[in-house]
């Protein structure tokens, strides 16, 4: 493995990728360090970035961030030492087909997607490269083409070793994050963090889309709050069947965390569902759980019922 990360690609420059891509670009504009950053995106958002750079707005400052390359084709850039994979799950297959055309055996793929089976999905398509199980905590979104708004605490990445290469160390990646000022945690068992986040995001994604209510409205409605807690309980049962360690008060902690969000907060899945987007993350929040529950013979009636209603009403 390379002793230093010189070329980084942020694949997907929406809310998550725009934030981390912007942070990296801004840092490299301060001191080049011989590194480059590439953005892979599409549509008007990419066009604006190609013309004027990426505008990143945080609670502390506004940055104009210029990547070395912004493109919709990975062949237009050198082979990266790392891909920060920041697409939605429904775009994962296409992203992996693209990445497979520009990768070497030591390229790191760091998936910053929702879901508990992302590593397996990636490994089923990529036999080359290093895939690190990971999750990200961040609140950010595109507010207009070329502009990303991040709110609250700095984005934080939790990641761990590739099960294919259990003895490998990743000092170059840790050094890179430190140089770029990216908040991160190395975990010997990242799946605990991945599933803990999933308890939150799966439950509130399903119930906000199902009810058409915001997170605050769900918490204020006794029936919807109970449904949300039931979804969480079912997610925990599936996770425990996969030997995932949860805090004993995981559901109480998750509900408290949700209460810290602004009352009017909508989940990304809810917004996609309300727009009647042909593509949404229903399979990540429902399908994956139902397949795992079937594999381990675990009943998850609330998730099955909610998912059925959502899919029946889907475009």
Percent of the chain clearing pLDDT 90 (strictly above): 83
Q: Are 175 and 142 in contact (CB under 8 A)?
A: no
Which pLDDT tens digit goes with each residue over 111-136? 999 999 999 999 999 989 999 999 99
The answer to whether 158 and 193 have CB atoms below 8 angstroms apart is: yes
The structure's pTM equals 0.92
Structure token digits, residue 127: 């036999």
Residue 210 has pLDDT above 70, yes or no: yes
Provide mean pLDDT across the span 240-258: 95
Q: Are 110 and 159 in contact (CB under 8 A)?
A: yes
Instruction: Tell which wins on pLDDT, 31 or 156.
Output: 156
Among 18, 9, 91, 95, residue whose Cα is nearest residue 54? 18
Give all domains of the chain, ordered by start, each with its CATH number. Answer: 7-188 (3.40.50.720), 192-312 (1.10.1040.10)
Least confident interval from 51-65, 87-101, 272-286: 272-286
Alpha helices in the chain (DSSP H): 15-30, 43-52, 92-99, 118-123, 171-180, 190-211, 215-220, 222-241, 250-259, 268-274, 282, 288-295, 301-312
Contact 250, 206 (CB under 8 A): no
Residue 32: pLDDT band by 50, 70, 90 thresholds?
Answer: low
What integer best gives the mean pLDDT of the chain? 93
| Residue-wise pLDDT tens digits, 2-27 | 578 999 999 999 999 999 999 999 99
Q: In angstroms, rounded to a whole number, what is the distance separating the alpha carbons of residues 23 and 127?
A: 30
Q: Is the pLDDT of residue 315 over 50?
A: no
Taking Cα atoms as reference points, which of 197, 189, 139 lies closest to residue 166? 189
Q: Read off φ and ψ for residue 298, nearest 5 degrees.
A: -115, 125
* 43-52, 145-154, 279-288: which is most confident: 43-52
Rg over alpha carbons for the chain, rounded to the nearest Å, is: 19
H-helix or E-strand spanning residue 267:
none
Q: Which residue carries 């058409």 as its tokens?
A: 212
């Amino acid at each position: 493995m390379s002793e230093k990360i010189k070329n980084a690609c942020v694949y997907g420059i929406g809310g998550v990728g725009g934030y981390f891509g912007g942070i990296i670009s801004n840092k490299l504009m301060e001191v080049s360090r011989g590194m480059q950053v590439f953005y892979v995106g599409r549509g008007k958002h990419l066009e604006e970035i190609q013309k004027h750079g990426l505008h990143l707005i945080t609670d502390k400052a506004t940055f104009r961030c210029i990547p070395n390359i912004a493109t919709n084709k990975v062949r237009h850039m050198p082979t990266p030492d790392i891909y920060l994979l920041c697409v939605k799950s429904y775009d994962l297959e296409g992203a992996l087909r693209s990445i497979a055309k520009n990768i070497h055996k030591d390229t790191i793929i760091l998936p910053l997607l929702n879901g508990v089976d992302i590593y397996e999905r990636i490994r089923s398509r990529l036999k080359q490269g290093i895939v690190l199980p990971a999750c990200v905590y961040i609140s950010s979104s595109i507010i207009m083409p070329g502009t990303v708004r991040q709110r609250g605490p700095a984005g934080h990445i939790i990641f761990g070793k590739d099960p294919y290469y259990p003895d490998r160390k990743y000092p170059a990646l840790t050094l890179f994050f430190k140089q770029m000022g990216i908040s991160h945690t190395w975990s010997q068992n990242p799946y605990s963090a991945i599933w803990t986040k999933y308890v939150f995001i799966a439950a509130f994604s399903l119930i906000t889309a199902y009810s058409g209510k915001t997170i605050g409205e769900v918490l204020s409605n006794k029936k919807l709050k109970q449904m949300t807690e039931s979804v969480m309980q079912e997610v925990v049962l599936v996770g425990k069947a996969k030997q995932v360690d949860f805090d004993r008060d995981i559901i109480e902690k998750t509900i408290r965390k949700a209460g810290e969000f602004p009352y009017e907060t909508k989940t990304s899945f809810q917004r996609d569902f309300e727009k009647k987007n042909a593509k949404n993350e229903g399979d990540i929040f429902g399908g994956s759980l139902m397949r795992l529950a079937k594999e381990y013979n675990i009943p998850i009636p609330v998730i099955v019922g909610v998912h059925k209603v959502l899919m029946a009403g889907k475009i």
